[in-house]
Amino acid sequence: MEPLFAILVGLFFSAAIYLLLSKFSIRIMLGIAILGNAVNLLLFTAGRLTREVPPIIPAGLDALPAGAANPLPQALILTAIVISFSFLAFLLVLTYRAYQDIGTDNTDEMRVAEPDDPPLPPVGY
């Protein structure tokens, strides 16, 4: 199953990078959303994939049975999902505000902070 997941993660990454390279901020946001999911899948694959034994300790035992799924990556992914989701929400609002205030979603034209023709430094006095 790992090779399959590896290919899937690769597909996610390529789609994310393609979108991140776009000029338009909304596509960049979509790219970031896909990138976050690609990383989550990567973490998941990194922690060994099994489908038979859930990571639950049966009654009367004090350790996981052999071949159980690894619970740690799931905890890591849960944290990463929460964080990336909150960031995405913030970024979407920021993108919308930027579109409202600057009047464009083309990053080439977002040059308020770095104007195209800043005043030249003085050469003498």
Partner 1 sequence: MAAPIGTDLSAAFLTAPVPPSNWLVILPVVHCIVLGALMLMLRAHVRLHALIAVLGLAALVLVDAVLLKRVIDDGPVTMVMGRWLPPFGIAFTVDLFGALMALAAAIAALVSSLYALTDIDAGGRRFGFFPFLMLLMAGVSGVFLTGDIFNLYVWFEVLLISSFGLLILGSEREQIDGAMKYAVLNLIGTTLFLIAVGYLYAIFGTLNMADIALKAAGLRDTAPLMTLAALFLFAFAMKAAAFPVNFWLPASYHTPRIVVSALFAGLLTKVGIYALIRVVVMLLPVEREALSLMIALVGAATVLMGALGALAQTDIRRMLGYVVISGIGNMLAGIAIGTPGGVSGSVFYALHSVMLMMALYLLAGQAARLGGSFQLSALGGLYRECGWFAAVSLILFLAACGLPPFSGFWPKVILVKAALDIGAWWLAAALLAGGFLTTICFGRVFLLAYWRPAPAPVEAVAIGWQSALPLLALTALVTGFGIAPEPLLSLVQAAAGSLADPGAYIHSVFPEGAAQ
At a CB cut-off of 8 Å and minimum separation 6, what does 28 contact? 19, 20, 22, 107
Q: Does position 43 bind partner 1 by CB under 8 A?
A: yes
Q: Does position 34 bind partner 1 by CB under 8 A?
A: no
The answer to whether 80 and 107 have CB atoms below 8 angstroms apart is no
Q: Does position 102 bind partner 1 by CB under 8 A?
A: yes
Q: Which of 24, 30, 47, 81 binds partner 1 (CB under 8 A)?
A: 47
| Among 82, 85, 62, 63, residue whose Cα is nearest residue 74 | 82
The answer to whether 34 and 12 have CB atoms below 8 angstroms apart is yes
Count of residues that bind partner 1 according to CB under 8 A: 48
Cα–Cα distance list, 57 to 37, 69, 82 (Å): 29, 11, 26
**Interface characters, 58-97, with partner 1 (x: CB under 8 A):** ---xxxxxx-x---xx--x--xx--xx-xx--xx--xx-x
The residue among 51 and 112 lying less far from partner 1, judged by its C-beta, is: 112
The answer to whether 110 and 98 have CB atoms below 8 angstroms apart is yes
Which residues in this chain contact partner 1 in the complex, by CB under 8 A?
20, 25, 28, 32, 35-36, 39, 42-43, 45-47, 61-66, 68, 72-73, 76, 79-80, 83-84, 86-87, 90-91, 94-95, 97-98, 101-102, 107, 110-114, 118-122, 125
